[in-house]
Structure 1
Amino acid sequence: MEISGVISAIVIGVVIGVLGRLVVPGRQHIGVLLTILVGIVAALLGSAIAAVFGVADTDGPDWIEWFIQIGLAAVGVAALDRARRPQR
């Protein structure tokens, strides 16, 4: 992967992480860096899943791929938030 690919993965990861965080209701107890990390992982996994199902490259915007990535980011944010909450 070239440097431009890494930079675009980070930028897309930031966007996906923020959108995933917005989907999860309530206040999350994870930081910005964890949100970005979850977004990057979700973007990479979402692209791979979309490629497996053959919806990664379509005419026009790849809406299905975006929905997969945002869904994965929301699941990741919710899981990390639940893991980091203090136990009662």
Structure 2
Amino acid sequence: MVEGKKSEHTENLGSHGGRASSWLAVTVMVAGFVVAGFGLVATSWTLIWVGAGLFVVGAVLALVFDIFTDVVIDAPRVGIRAEDHR
């Protein structure tokens, strides 16, 4: 197997985990999605709107916490042939 070389202009910090605040925002959005989904199955408009509200709160938290800065962009790999890429 041929190892690719990483370019020197970017630095990989070695973690794709993200910050706890980012995970909090995502968890609130997922909880809102689940609550709204359960409200759809149970035909409860109250649960649907509570879930939608939770999702919006999570989205606002995501904007405030700037979760998109958690993205880790690996440096492009150079020198890998198509046959070696599996």
Shorter-normalised TM range: 0.3 to 0.5
- Computing the radius of gyration over CA atoms, which structure comes out larger, 1 or 2? 2
Which structure is higher in helix share? 1
Higher relative contact order (CA 8 A, sep 6+): 2
Which structure is higher in strand share? 2
TM-score normalised by the chain length of structure 1: 0.33
TM-score normalised by the chain length of structure 2: 0.34
